[in-house]
Chain A
Amino acid sequence: MLTREAALLLISLSGWTLFISTLLYQPFLFLASFFLQTFFATYMLLVSRRLRNLGIEGLILERTVEPQRIGDKTLLKVRLRVRLDSESRLFVRVMDRPPYGTRIVERPLNSEGIVGAGESLESSYTLEVDPSIGLARFRKVVLLIHDPLRLCYVAREVEVVSDVIVPVGEQLVGAAYTKLPAPWIRPPMGLGYRGLVGYDDEFSGIKPYELGDRVRDIHWVRYAQQVDEEELVAKKYVKKGEVTLHLVVDCSSSINAGDNAALLTDISTLIRRLCQTAEEEGNPVQFWLINPALSLDEKISPRRVFSRIALEQYIARVFPSRGRDEGQVVEEFSRTLSSSSMVIFVVNPPSQNTGTVEAMINACRIVGARYIICIPDVSSYVSGLEGVVGRLLQLDRLFKDMWLSRFAEPGSVIEIGKGYSVDVVREAVRRGVDWGRG
């Protein structure tokens, strides 16, 4: 390929030669311009031939990626090193192809130079990773090998595979989670007719056609059946939208039950599996953490399909906290909720935040959203059911039963037994779907 410089040079030289030969003819001027044009054209012919036949066996490319966390952004510092195991030298320009879900925030530095005979080229650039991406998959690197005068080049693609798990701050990315197969890093929302997925529009009747209605919505059959009236009739649809899964977690001290925080571990597993199910179905998830130790922004997550990294970020915020939450989340929760939402409450009453949870449950009932209350069976987490402990557990059971009796919807409560959180997810999803059908 000709470079921009070469193309412009040929155009300029041709222009000059034509100008000199037609308007200002003087043999020595013409011959000088003719000589230069002939020289560069021949040079480009020879060089392009040589570049096409050039082997790149000795070229070695290495990519190192260093994840960085700055504020709420995840950056990847990418370094490319090009070496040539040969005594000959080449002028190369290296261009990496950023992986899916990343964008370049800092242009490549030193992306061109000479390699070979002991010299190597090191180029670096910075990428910003989309928050929903947990795995950056680097693939091909494009090498532009130039001639000495940089008038021609040949492009060669070299496969340099690097899979980078994107960490979030001090938290680990994903530990074992990233080992799970993920054919789609971020599946499209609302595809298919699976359990949690809603439908876009649903026919709900007819109405007189009004200005602004789509022509495609005109009910032509009904219009044709009309004899006396000549009024157009349009189909009416109800927008159902996709099902958003709202996860409300009461992070009061009551979730610190069992040996080695067994309940907390089960809640984390429950949240992970719920999000995984939602991800598989393409449903967005939104977190609502009732935790007085967090700011309002940290309590409420954006509504989206979470990557595993972002998910771990929110799970890390589920920890037992002291004190009572001021309950600002309720207002925001009420505003966000719609009838097509599905809410899962993870709560262990009695707690200081029980009032807040009640307000959120009432908001669901007002809107008509599906909700499931997941409460732990504390007796399965505590060893030694005799004596004082046994009586306390009975009291706890009594309070829970009284509290739950206020929410009369059938099938809206699921108990979490120790180590059975995975089964709970399956049950919660099934009940959520059944509710929608009911």
Chain B
Amino acid sequence: MGARIADRFLIAAVLLTPFLMSMDYLARIVLTPFLVLGCISLLSTYLPARYQNVVIPLIYLPAITSLVVLVLERRPHFLIDLAGGYLLSIPFIAMIGLARSTSLRASVLSYITSLTSTYFIWSIAAQARVEGGHLFLSLVNMFVNRQAWEKVQPPQYFAALAALSSITLIVYLWRVYGSVLVRGQGEILIYSAAAASLAIALTVLYSLVFTDSVALGLIIAGTLTIAATIRAGVKKGWGRA
């Protein structure tokens, strides 16, 4: 029981960063009914099977209504808001995926996806607030104008939160997927986390002096990945392993 509570606490800590960022961008935008409906309609697909009769109207009714308004009254706002709502739901979908993932790889990828998509939507929301436009139109503008990405910078505490949640994710994975073996081989976790932290520290320190820290980070990560692949080896038929 205690272990389950600890696991839940850890997963909540992992989700804290994308969740707080999502709350931040939700606070920055003007929520319209169709924006909220678009967000809810996509999230409703995660409802249990017994709510299927609710899910279908939730998805189709806003979509059909916005299309009808567009065609009959020539007002695209509802449709644009609905598309913006779909965009808003992406980080939440990634977060749900992380909470429900059943494999280590799915957990890691869901985490990165949730972080990336949250930042992505946060940037769009921040841009929309600056320009005073719709969320979806800001997305188009940001795609067209690459310099728009550099205008908005998230607060520094997101970086601290991301670092915290990344470490928490590793501890969570170690507890959940390492089962009962973790006690005997716990030092490997500590050594690996220490090595990764050192690599991060080195890259950050390097960035204070030089501008090509990304290249350094890529070289370190690439070297370690290739070394791990060569040292551990990949069997020809690893699809069955």
Q: Which among A149-157, A207-215, A369-377 touches the partner chain? A: A149-157
CB < 8 Å: which of A1, A30, A38 contacts B224?
Answer: A38
Query: Which of chain B's residues 134-176 have a Cβ closer than 8 Å to chain A?
Result: 149, 154, 158-159, 162-163, 165-166, 169-170, 173-174
Interface flags for A36-53 (1: CB within 8 Å of B; 0: not) read 111111111111111000
A114 and B108 form a contact (CB under 8 A): no
B197 cross-chain contacts in A, Cβ below 8 A: 35
A33 cross-chain contacts in B, Cβ below 8 A: 112
A16 cross-chain contacts in B, Cβ below 8 A: 109, 112, 116
A24 and B192 form a contact (CB under 8 A): no
A5 and B105 form a contact (CB under 8 A): yes
Alpha-carbon separation in the docked complex, A34 to B218 (Å)? 8
Nearest CB of A to B238, in Å: 5
Q: Does A400 contact B (CB under 8 A)?
A: no
Interface flags for A364-403 (1: CB within 8 Å of B; 0: not) read 0000000000000000000000000000000000000000
Q: B interface, by DSSP: helix, strand, loop or mixed?
A: helix
A28 and B192 form a contact (CB under 8 A): no
Smallest CB-CB separation from A11: which chain B residue? B225
Q: Does B60 contact A (CB under 8 A)?
A: no
Instruction: Say yes or no: A41-B225 contact (C-beta < 8 A), given A21-B218, A149-B104.
Output: yes
Alpha-carbon separation in the docked complex, A148 to B182 (Å)? 6
Q: Does B184 contact A (CB under 8 A)?
A: yes
A46 cross-chain contacts in B, Cβ below 8 A: 188, 191-192
Q: A interface, by DSSP: helix, strand, loop or mixed?
A: helix
Q: Does B220 contact A (CB under 8 A)?
A: yes
Q: Which among B86-94, B125-133, B198-206 touches the partner chain? A: B198-206
CB < 8 Å: which of A10, A21, A152 contacts B214?
Answer: A21
Alpha-carbon separation in the docked complex, A36 to B114 (Å)? 14
Alpha-carbon separation in the docked complex, A438 to B120 (Å)? 95
B105 and A12 form a contact (CB under 8 A): yes
B217 and A30 form a contact (CB under 8 A): yes
B217 cross-chain contacts in A, Cβ below 8 A: 17, 21, 30-31, 34
A9 cross-chain contacts in B, Cβ below 8 A: 104-105, 108
Nearest CB of A to B217, in Å: 5
A30 and B229 form a contact (CB under 8 A): no
Number of interface residues of A (CB under 8 A): 58
Q: Does A29 contact B (CB under 8 A)?
A: yes
Instruction: Say yes or no: A35-B234 contact (C-beta < 8 A), given A16-B112, A17-B221, A28-B158.
Output: no
Interface flags for B70-113 (1: CB within 8 Å of A; 0: not) read 00000000000000000000000000000000011100110110
B200 and A34 form a contact (CB under 8 A): yes
B2 cross-chain contacts in A, Cβ below 8 A: none
Alpha-carbon separation in the docked complex, A9 to B225 (Å)? 11
CB < 8 Å: which of B159, B174, B181 contacts A89?
Answer: B181
Q: Does B231 contact A (CB under 8 A)?
A: yes
B220 cross-chain contacts in A, Cβ below 8 A: 34, 38
Instruction: Say yes or no: A37-B225 contact (C-beta < 8 A), given A21-B218, A45-B232, A153-B241.
Output: yes
Interface flags for B209-221 (1: CB within 8 Å of A; 0: not) read 0000010011011
CB < 8 Å: which of A29, A88, A91 contacts B119?
Answer: A29
Smallest CB-CB separation from A43: which chain B residue? B192
A7 and B234 form a contact (CB under 8 A): yes
Instruction: Say yes or no: A45-B227 contact (C-beta < 8 A), given A27-B159, A31-B204, A149-B174.
Output: yes
B200 and A2 form a contact (CB under 8 A): no
Beyond the given pairs A1-B241, A29-B162, A39-B170, 9 more chain A to chain B contacts, judged by CB atoms under 8 angstroms and listed by A's residue number, are A1-B232, A4-B240, A4-B241, A5-B103, A12-B109, A31-B162, A38-B200, A44-B232, A45-B231
Could you write out 11 A-B pairs with CB less than 8 Å apart?
Answer: A3-B238, A18-B218, A24-B119, A28-B162, A29-B119, A36-B169, A37-B225, A40-B228, A41-B228, A114-B180, A149-B174
B contacts, CB < 8 Å to A? 103-105, 108-109, 111-112, 115-116, 119-120, 149, 154, 158-159, 162-163, 165-166, 169-170, 173-174, 177-182, 184-185, 188-189, 191-193, 195-197, 199-200, 203-204, 207, 214, 217-218, 220-222, 224-225, 227-229, 231-235, 238-241
The 9 closest A-B CB pairs, nearest first, are: A41-B224, A48-B232, A28-B159, A148-B178, A39-B196, A148-B181, A43-B192, A38-B196, A44-B228
